Amino acid sequence: MVGLLIITHTSFNGIRIATSLAAIKAGGGALWVGILTAMFNLVPAFLAIYVGRRVDRLPLRKPLVFGCLLAAAGGLVAAWQPMLWVLALCASAIGIGWMVIAAASQYAVGSYGSEAGSSELRVKAFSIMAMGFSVSSFLGPLIAGFMIDHVSFAAAFGVLAVLPLIAAAAFWSKRLLKLPSIAGKVADAPTGSASELLAVPIVRNTLITGAFITIGWDLYLFMVPVLGTELKLTATQIGSVLSLFAVAVFAVRFMMPWLSKKLGERGVIVTAMVLAGSTFVAFAFAHSYSLMLVLSFIIGLGLGAAQPIVLSLLHGAAPPHRIGEVNGLRMTMISTSQWTMPLVFGVLSLTTGMLPLFLVVGGGLLSGSFFAKKKLPKDS
């Protein structure tokens, strides 16, 4: 499962970076980068809860394969016609595809970790998945930057689009992948409104905390290509900055069992948000490639540590027959912010430049750390 997620997430990350750089090359500037970044999340924001409910009831192979095929189609069309409006449509298709994959895979991984009834095993399972995402976050920008610099944008989109096709074939094969037996077995389970889930304090507060972290992550991916272009860095250098971020994420997730035991789940989340927020503030004054590399690594340590625990807390707090729906609710909240914030930041960057924006994101993460310390339980 994790190996196939690495393949699909490499494609998603690489295409997202290639799309931003293609928009800049086409003369779209920061505003179009913001629009395209938003398009990866706009439609998923409206579909995520529905998809989550379907994941609760369907065999997991179906959404996994569908998501891969849709993401591949978006990448292939972008390779064929990398114009701005076409890229916007492709970003929507790829965003929907990845949202479906994420909802199904988080259900599956959480179920693997819950089979023994241990929250510790669930954290470990999500940490392993997150380490896989760290690998793909390293490979995606690196592949995109190398292909753009040495071949073409079309080649970058084409190569990255092939990866989810490979994953789709593997997801469909029962010989290659055994999915958890408890998944997709509640077709007749009762349903309710999303407001019922939000009424559960640990679900609501964990969703809000996770939104702070993911918004910081996605705005970082939006802001670095723009800042790098302003500093006249090459696509390979920008890809390297983002890839070093992924190296840090992998390293900190490798240490998650020790960190969780040492600091506790809430302690890890609070510390991670303070570290990331402080580094965002420092990033506002980064004016060199070498400094961007260092700060990118530190931000990776902060943002990378919190996500596995957030996912584990949500999986454990959700009603057994509504785990997919909780994941969908999380994606709706996050995607709504992800498509609005890049648009807002894209417009603001035209008048304020990048420095105030890094300060705002840093301040938001620091504020979120106080919220997490007050609202999250000390122990899961």
On average, the pLDDT of the chain sits at 81
How confident is residue 184, by pLDDT bands cut at 50, 70 and 90? very low
Choose among 294, 172, 293, 287: nearest CA to 232: 287
- Tokens representing 130 are 């997150």
**Position 192 pLDDT exceeds 80:** no
Q: What Å distances lie between residue 115 and 61, 122, 248, CA to CA?
A: 19, 9, 30
269-272 LR contacts (CB < 8 Å, sep 24+): 269/209, 269/213, 269/305, 269/306, 269/309, 269/310, 269/369, 269/372, 269/376, 270/369, 270/372, 270/373, 271/305, 272/213, 272/301, 272/302, 272/303, 272/304, 272/305, 272/306
DSSP 154-189: HHHHHHHHHHHHHHHHHHH-TTT-PPPTTTT--TT-
Mean pLDDT of 299-325: 81
User: Looking at the predicted structure, is the pLDDT value of residue 115 above 60?
Assistant: no
What is the CATH architecture of 2-177+204-375? Up-down Bundle (1.20)
- Residue 181 or residue 67, greater confidence: 67
Say whether pLDDT at 176 is over 60.
Answer: no
- Residue 236: pLDDT band (50, 70, 90) is confident
| pLDDT confidence band for 328 (50 / 70 / 90) | confident
Cα-Cα-Cα-Cα dihedral sign, residues 289, 25, 68, 316: positive
In the prediction, which pLDDT does 178 show?
Answer: 62
pLDDT average, residue stretch 80-101: 85
Average pLDDT over residues 176-200: 61
Calpha distance 70→77 (Å, rounded): 11
Mean pLDDT of 214-220: 83
Local structure of residue 320 (DSSP, 8 states): G
Cβ atoms 306, 280 nearer than 8 A? no
Give the domain ranges of the chain: 2-177+204-375
Residue 183 has pLDDT above 50, yes or no: no
Identify which of 72-81, 315-324, 329-338 has the greatest average pLDDT: 72-81
